[in-house]
Amino acid sequence: MTPAARLATVSPSIIRAMGQGAPEGCVSLGLGEPSWPLPASASRALAKAYGEGSTCPYGPNAGTPELRRALSAWLGSPEDTLMLAAGSQAALFALFQAWAGDGDEVLVPDPGFVTYPVLAAMAGAKALAYELADDGSLDAERFIATLDKATRAKLAVINHPANPTGVGASADALAKVARICQDRGVVLVSDEVYRDLYLENRHPGILDDGVRRGIVALGSMSKAFAAPGLRVGWALGDPDVLAPARLVHNAMTSCLSRPAQAAAVAILDEAQAVLDESRRQLRLRWDTFDASYRKMLSFLPPPVIPAGGFYHWMPLPREGLSDPVGFCMRVRDVGHVIVVPGVAFGARGAAFARLSWGGFPEDTIEGITRLAPYWRT
Ligand X SMILES: Cc1ncc(COP(=O)(O)O)c(C=O)c1O
Which parts of this chain interact with ligand X (CB under 6 A)?
32, 87-89, 113, 159, 163, 191, 193, 220, 222, 228, 233
In angstroms, give the least distance from the CB of 235 to ligand X: 11
Q: Which is nearer to ligand X, 91 or 314 (CB)?
A: 91
Q: Which is nearer to ligand X, 111 or 233 (CB)?
A: 233
**Which residue's Cβ has the minimum distance to ligand X?**
87
In angstroms, give the least distance from the CB of 4 to ligand X: 26
Task: Looking at 216-270, list the stretches that DSSP marks H as alpha helix, in order from N- to C-terminal side.
Answer: 239-253, 258-269
Q: How far apart are CA 94 and CA 235, in angstroms?
A: 10
Q: Which is nearer to ligand X, 167 or 365 (CB)?
A: 167
Q: Which is nearer to ligand X, 306 or 320 (CB)?
A: 306
In angstroms, give the least distance from the CB of 183 to ligand X: 26
Q: Which is nearer to ligand X, 97 or 222 (CB)?
A: 222
Q: How far apart are CA 354 and CA 340, in angstroms?
A: 5
* The pairing of beta strand 187-191 with beta strand 233-237: unpaired
In angstroms, give the least distance from the CB of 155 to ligand X: 15
Tell me the DSSP string of 104-139.
-EEEEEES--THHHHHHHHTT-EEEEEEPPTTSS--
In angstroms, give the least distance from the CB of 229 to ligand X: 9
In angstroms, give the least distance from the CB of 113 to ligand X: 4
Q: Write b or e for each residue in 100-115: b if 16 or more Cβ atoms lie within 10 A of its Cβ, otherwise e.
A: beeebbbbbbbbbbbb
Q: Which is nearer to ligand X, 228 or 361 (CB)?
A: 228
> How far does Cα 54 stand from its chain's mean position?
35
What are the E-state strand segments in 297-363?
Answer: 311-315, 337-338, 340-341, 352-356
Residue 318 burial (10 A CB sphere; 0-12, 13-18, 19+): exposed
The 3-state DSSP composition of the chain as helix, strand, coil percent (nearest 5) reads: 45, 15, 40
